[in-house]
Structure 1
Amino acid sequence: MTFKQFAFNNVKRNTRQYLSYFLSCMFAVTVFFMYAVIVFHPDIQNAEFRDVVQRGILLTEAIIYGFSFLFVLFSTGSFIKSRKKQYGLLTTLGISKSQLNRMLILENTIIGITSIVAGLLLGALLTKLFLMIFSQILGLDQILPFYLSLKAIGITSLLFFIMFEVNSLAVVWTLRTNSIMEVFRGAKGPKKTPKFSWILSLLAIGLIGAGYYLAYISTVVTIFLYMLPILILVIPGTYFLFSQFSIAFIALLKRKKRFYLHKLNLLTISDLSHKLKDNARILFIVTILSAVALTSSGVLYGLFQGVEAEAKRFVPQDATLISKGNSKIDKLEKEINFVESSFKEKDIAFQSNLIRTTQAQMQSENENWNLVWAQIYSYSDYKAIANLHGRNVSFEIDDGEMVISKQEFALPDDNKPPKKLTIKSKNESATLHTKVAKLELNQNIYTTFDIVVSDSIFKQFVQSAASNEVYYNYAMEIPKWKTHADDIEQIFANVDREIAYPDSQPEYYLRMKEGLSYLFFFGIFISVLFFLAAGSILYFRMYQDMDKDLHHYHSIYRIGITDKEMKKIATRQLGFLFFIPFIVAVVHASFAFKALQNMIASSVILPSVMSVSVFFVIHLMNFIFIRNVYTAKLKKVM
């Protein structure tokens, strides 16, 4: 048997141990390759969105490659620990350091090349489906044809080969300074009684609770202020949760003698505290990776599904044209005629209304409300606009009052105007009591707020208004705007913005959908990669502790535990190690979803449940596979 055959047989004999690592690497290669195919696809080269797609894909590729590098580095370290006894035995039998280094490099090279080849083959098989999904998500007119790029194959192969070889050198460096006895001893070490701190245990709950509270109360304005504090609180809190609180919780369970001594609980719980303490860092990493995967995928999917609701939220009226000044009235009529004739040519049903408004400046001792420009609507005109869009007006108004628009982003921090405000135009002024209501009107680029006053007050202002203080608001109700979104956007794109400023739900909808399509397409595969890596890390840890666990189970088997009870204990302990991080990650993600719900109009319940369900199925399948491998090994000690 040659040295190369010896290295190949080592990989072959450890197939199960390397399987999860191999599949994760293969998936990373597959995703990297498919994204690279899009970059070099000839139809993308001539597309309008080429630059956006290429920048997004390059960023995605960098994240995938960087994460894969760290993942492979961590994985190889785990394999070294789990196989130290083998390396120690080979060393005692006379293998030289250079031969051992060669064997390690060969083994990692074999696994790396196999992962690259398998990943490229799988990527080639899935490329057509990937291009279909890409075309569908981005709303392209036609599906991109199947295409395999030699450049994509070459770049993927070269970068991942370099990654595997660099990690092979890292493996050699790991063993370089270890003595023979250290290598032979492997992962074994003295087992001490797990210790914990009540202060750190309570601190874990406090930190996580504080982070949850900030997420719960965050809004679209405050989330950017709270995001960093939330991470600073939740991440160390999660670490202390596993390294301290979990041990404290097990200690409390042990005090409940009736529960602790019931059936197999004694054997399950007594060893679980050691497992939780030994694996605290791994469980922390797995939880954070899983939480990132769940949160990012759920948030992206929730935003993507809620595009229409967000369009209606930020652009309440289907479509509007706003023109400033009496001097443009003739030109405005031409623009309106162009829009209406274009709608009729495209057979797009609509209703419309043209009203006149005016502007004034608010004056107050409160600096947040002083010298702020507002657009004034009469109560009758506002009611006509609301009725055009099928809405009812929820408030009444008299001559001494005005209603100010409630805007999430424009109002000051306290969100409350003074009880009285003076509105002043060039030739008119009035001091009125203020009320706040949600005025569902499109934004005016010339003013900050919309206000509604009584018809008599409005008449005073509009009759005395200077020419440049008057606005003409043309509003359209389009029952099936989503069906004709592309046509409507094109029509409004041809409106002269010097004469009339257009604003429409279809334009906002298409712009937001396009941006979120890119984010969703680039982010979802990274989320899956993170989650698969989290499962693989648990798999590596199980193999690393396999010899120690088998020795433990062999000991308790000799005192009379049956095969069925042995499997039950092992399944419970594996279940705790697998599903505790997942449950914590789901709770973390749930508060992230709550923060998202505070920011958007559409419900995130269904998208978040679907996202968590998909990842749960993946996690459950991974657990079943690992449990079967684990119990198969367990049979050998019975």
Structure 2
Amino acid sequence: MKFRQLAAKNVRGNWHQYSAFFLSSVFSVAIFYIYAAFIFHPDVVNGHIEAASKVRQGMILCEYIIMIFSFFFVLYSMSAFVKSRKKEFGLFSLFGMTSGQIRRMVLYENIVISLLAIVTGIAFGALFSKLFFMALAELLDVSNPIRFTLPAKALLLTGVGFFVLFLVITLFTLFQIGRSQIIDLLKASKKPKTPPIASKWLVLLSIVCIGAGYYMAYNMNMMNVMIYMLPILFLVVVGTYFLFTQASVSIFRRLQRRTPFYYKGTNLMTVSQLVFKIKDNARILFMVSIMSAVILTASGTFYVFFQGSKAQLLDNFPQTIAFFERGLNTHNVVDPEKVRQILKEDGVQVEYELKLAGITAAFPIVGSRYSKETNALIVPESDYNKYAALMKRQREKLDIANGHAVYVYPYKEMKMQLVETGVPLKMKANESELELTIDKQVNGAIAFPRFEATELLVVDDEQYKAIMQGVPEDKQVAVYGFELQKWESAGETAAKIAALVPEKQNHFFENRVASYKETMQLASLTLFIGLFVSFLFFIASGSMIYFKLFTELEEDREQFRALTRIGMTKQEISKTVTTQIAIVFYVPCVVGIVHTMFAMKALGNLLFTSAMLYALVVIGIYIVMQSVYFLAARRSYLNKIVKGYAD
């Protein structure tokens, strides 16, 4: 039998170990090729596809992430294969095969698997690239569909890149083969294991680190995010490591001391094996838990960004069309009558129309590190209450006494007090001075167009008339707003109105529809591309557990074969195996979920919204996918175990 034939036969014989690695590699290659096919698409390179340049940059970043991730994933997989086949290599050595010949055989095997994975991955990538292009065309809202093509550069980069990656890692892992003696290789799986011992101080350190990280994440905000971010990451990673290497051993040791539980049914067998399994697999479980947290947090963040984009846009652009004028009747930006005429001609219904006129007042503020003074538009309380009711943003009407005012700051995320309340403040308005006592500061209660004066000073109507008396019209300012019904589909109408605005006045004009299209396009693309990479990480994390299970297959098979001789039934073995696999699969999943919940709480604090509902949706999907992976791994593992002691 030639070496190549032996290598091919070994691949078929060890396919249960290679299958998860092979499928994960195929998925990595397919995703890499799909992104590369878009990056090197002739229409994208030549700029014929509108808005494709931003997407291209994001996909190039994803390509780097996929390649770096694939390097470490393949490196771990190769190492796991070598470890699981030590007995096989020992037998080959016993039959006269040299270390060089064993390395050569493994090299052939890995080249076969690599070529199969690359060819299959590119084939699936090419097959699904058309669907990918169709989805992108829809998200980019391009007029013509993106044509199907097989860019030579994409094929070459994917094929050569992954082959070099597989080859380098294969050569690296070959150094592990041939260093051990034959007797060590043959008895690798039969070496007695010493009972694991946990340090109570390291268990305490784990609790303290995770607790401190969670506390900081729970209390993170815009003011301390730069201070807390790295310490949280460090504390949670260190705490998680000792959670699996130390605390897990301590927990199972305690279960062994609870005799009513320990000696009930198959618990003795399950717990006693798990003490060693969890300790042996601690690093893998730690890595999978961190990967789970990364997957869930990244996916949750993408989902929050996608779902929250529209709400944030409505906050930033309270009216569909809005503009700011200097002078009541100058209409240097656009004539409101022309706006009404275009809306009528296009049959667009107006939900409400807004007009606020006043003057800006300059007065001191105390809560800002960047400025000692701010400008606010003075408006009457009757107008404020009317438009607040129309926008459904203010619960209670303002009732302000003469000589007093309410300061309205439009950004709800700002929590600090910016103005002194209860004391008279001197203000400068239209080159004259006035004195007002600010009763309170209201943050984010109502949103008006944000131009030169983004803040408001709401005063009594009589006070407003007194302030405005003698102010010429050309010194006054006016804010106009038009909220349209079904504004998402009013893009053409909004564009007609925007075309009336002189170029030098564009910064005084807002068009929510145009911003909505761009924002939702970016959010959809980010979610679409990010979920592909997150799914790749998910496949790899499950595969790592799968690899680890099958590296211990022979040892577990021997143990269960011995247990059947003393009367353990197949049902009891199935229950024990299922419990052990479930713990190995779901414990890092649960730890990752808890990490994610605190990460999403921190994200909610930063965005001033609740991200938990979005996080629960992502977590629910993740649990379902993890369960599918668990059921597949359990079935495959049980079949191998049962076949082992049935023979």
TM-score bin (small chain): over 0.9
2:584 is aligned with 1:580: no
1:435 partner amino acid: K
Match of 1:433 in 2: 438
1:41 partner amino acid: H
- Cα distance in 2 for partners of 1:436, 1:335 equals 34
Following superposition of structure 1 onto structure 2, how do residues 289-308 of structure 1 map, counting pairs within 5 Å? 289-308=291-310
Match of 1:423 in 2: 427
User: Alpha-carbon deviation of 1:474?
Assistant: 0.6
Following superposition of structure 1 onto structure 2, how do residues 128-147 of structure 1 map, counting pairs within 5 Å? 128-147=130-149
Match of 2:486 in 1: 480
User: Alpha-carbon deviation of 1:414?
Assistant: 5.4
2:464 is aligned with 1:451: no
User: Does 148-157 or 527-536 show the bigger shift?
Assistant: 148-157
2:67 is aligned with 1:87: no
- Cα distance in 1 for partners of 2:330, 2:453 equals 23
- Structure 2 residue matching 1:321: 3-state secondary structure: strand
TM-score (norm 1): 0.92
User: Alpha-carbon deviation of 1:530?
Assistant: 0.5
User: Alpha-carbon deviation of 1:17?
Assistant: 0.7
User: Alpha-carbon deviation of 1:627?
Assistant: 1.1
Aligned pair in 2 of structure 1 residues 208, 278: CA closer, same or farther (>3 Å)? same
Match of 1:385 among 384, 387, 401: 387
CA displacement 1:518-576 (0-9 Å, x = unmatched): 32122111100111100000011111111222222233333221111111111111111
- Cα distance in 2 for partners of 1:588, 1:365 equals 38
The size of the alignment, in residue pairs, is 636
1:297 partner amino acid: S
Match of 1:125 in 2: 127
CA displacement 1:128-160 (0-9 Å, x = unmatched): 222222223334445433333233222211111
- Cα distance in 2 for partners of 1:197, 1:490 equals 72
User: Alpha-carbon deviation of 1:410?
Assistant: 7.9
CA contact (8 A) 1:356 1:470 kept: yes
2:4 is aligned with 1:4: yes
Following superposition of structure 1 onto structure 2, how do residues 367-378 of structure 1 map, counting pairs within 5 Å? 370-378=372-380
User: Alpha-carbon deviation of 1:613?
Assistant: 2.6
Match of 2:641 in 1: 634
Match of 1:106 among 90, 105, 108: 108
Aligned pair in 2 of structure 1 residues 538, 494: CA closer, same or farther (>3 Å)? farther
CA displacement 1:351-403 (0-9 Å, x = unmatched): 42332121111126777573222222221222333344355562322223222
2:398 is aligned with 1:400: no
Match of 1:553 among 560, 580, 584: 560
- Cα distance in 1 for partners of 2:645, 2:244 equals 30
CA contact (8 A) 1:72 1:164 kept: yes
TM-score (norm 2): 0.91
- Cα distance in 2 for partners of 1:596, 1:256 equals 41
- Structure 2 residue matching 1:428: 3-state secondary structure: strand
Match of 1:288 in 2: 290
2:200 is aligned with 1:192: no
Aligned pair in 2 of structure 1 residues 414, 378: CA closer, same or farther (>3 Å)? closer
Match of 1:567 among 574, 584, 589: 574
1:488 partner amino acid: A
- Cα distance in 1 for partners of 2:531, 2:553 equals 33
- Structure 2 residue matching 1:151: 3-state secondary structure: helix
CA contact (8 A) 1:410 1:448 kept: no
Match of 2:26 in 1: 26
Match of 1:506 in 2: 513
CA displacement 1:476-502 (0-9 Å, x = unmatched): 121211222465256436523634612
User: Alpha-carbon deviation of 1:349?
Assistant: 1.9
- Cα distance in 1 for partners of 2:365, 2:300 equals 45
2:559 is aligned with 1:523: no
CA contact (8 A) 2:360 2:375 kept: yes
Unaligned runs of 5+ in 2: none
CA contact (8 A) 1:137 1:521 kept: no
RMSD between superposed Cα atoms in Å: 2.6
- Cα distance in 1 for partners of 2:211, 2:42 equals 51
Match of 1:623 in 2: 630
Aligned pair in 2 of structure 1 residues 208, 136: CA closer, same or farther (>3 Å)? farther
- Structure 1 residue matching 2:437: 3-state secondary structure: strand
Unaligned runs of 5+ in 1: none
- Cα distance in 2 for partners of 1:94, 1:392 equals 86
User: Does 191-200 or 376-385 show the bigger shift?
Assistant: 376-385
CA displacement 1:93-146 (0-9 Å, x = unmatched): 222233222211111110010001111121122122222222233344454333
Match of 1:37 in 2: 37
- Cα distance in 1 for partners of 2:436, 2:80 equals 74
